[in-house]
Amino acid sequence: AQSVTQPDIHITVSEGASLELRCNYSYGATPYLFWYVQSPGQGLQLLLKYFSGDTLVQGIKGFEAEFKRSQSSFNLRKPSVHWSDAAEYFCAVGAQGGANNLFFGTGTRLTVIP
Amino acid sequence: KAGVTQTPRYLIKTRGQQVTLSCSPISGHRSVSWYQQTPGQGLQFLFEYFSETQRNKGNFPGRFSGRQFSNSRSEMNVSTLELGDSALYLCASSKRTGGAGETQYFGPGTRLLVL
């Protein structure tokens, strides 16, 4: 069965610093991977997704993620964090076999300090 | 294009009552999925509706049910509410064209508080 692990519950970075959020997945075949962001009291906004092809994926708001099959990872990066990036970030893997649902990690809460 | 809308946004109920939440998908999207988000269990898949039929179901008790209408709008119902049902309920829509790994677009959620 698919599963996602986000090892960091909470990360604090200074504004302008670089960011990397970790995500590891468990699935035998090529996974469909997503990163979503959730601001307090809001729904989930899609940042980027990986289905196949180029392993470096560009998303919105200056985010990118790299799929590494050998490490079963899909880490999210941003070169320079802005205060508005403070939110909770969720990595997810798509179900296979005709199902349409997502399996989410537990999330990483990002705090940005000025 | 309008996004996924959910009503109501906030709801307070008491134990034993039932509740109905509504979700309108993005225009042209035929699949609606529901998720429950709690601090303890995180984001968990409830069920998916496509073409007015439940296509997939998560591991939730039968008190949780849903339906989808011909215009793709969906409702979910929780009967005999328990304190543990307090959560943010998120609805997501997708086109469901048959391809794998379709993107799901989420609504703002309905926050349910059970007292």
Q: Write out pLDDT tens, residues A72-101.
A: 999 999 999 999 999 999 999 987 766 778
Sort out which chain A residues have CB atoms less than 8 A from B106's CB and list them: 36, 43-45
Mean pLDDT of chain A: 92
**Is B51 buried (19+), middle (13-18) or exposed (0-12) by CB count in 10 A?**
exposed
B102 pLDDT band, cuts 50/70/90, is confident
B101 CA to chain A: closest CA distance, Å? 6
Which residue is listed with tokens 């109905």? B20
pLDDT of residue A28: 66
Q: Which residue from B43, B58, B103 is facing A90, i.e. has the nearest CB?
A: B43
Mean pLDDT of chain B: 93
pLDDT of residue A29: 75
Helical (H) or strand (E) element with B48: strand B42-50
Q: Tell me, yes or no, if A109 comes closer than 8 A to chain B by beta carbon.
A: no
The more confidently predicted of residues A58 and A1 is A58
B8 pLDDT band, cuts 50/70/90, is very high
Which is it for strands A19-21 and A64-68: parallel, antiparallel or unpaired?
unpaired
Instruction: Taking the CA atoms of A74, A79, A83 and A84 in sequence, report the sign of the dihedral they define.
Output: negative
CA distance A70 to A55: 12
- For B33, which residue in chain A has the nearest alpha carbon? A101
pLDDT of residue A61: 95
Sort out which chain B residues have CB atoms less than 8 A from A94's CB and list them: 100-102
Q: Using one digit for the tens of pLDDT, what is the confidence trace for B35-48?
A: 999 998 999 999 99
- Does pLDDT of B20 surpass 70? yes
Those of residues 4-63 in A touching chain B at CB distance below 8 A are: 32, 34, 36, 41-46, 49, 51
Say if residues B70 and B64 touch (Cβ distance below 8 Å): no
Chain-chain contact of A42 with B108 (C-beta, under 8 angstroms): yes
pLDDT of residue B99: 61
B10 CA to chain A: closest CA distance, Å? 11
B77 pLDDT band, cuts 50/70/90, is very high
Which residues lie closer than 8 Å to A24 by C-beta, 6 or more apart? A4, A5, A6, A7, A71, A72, A73, A74
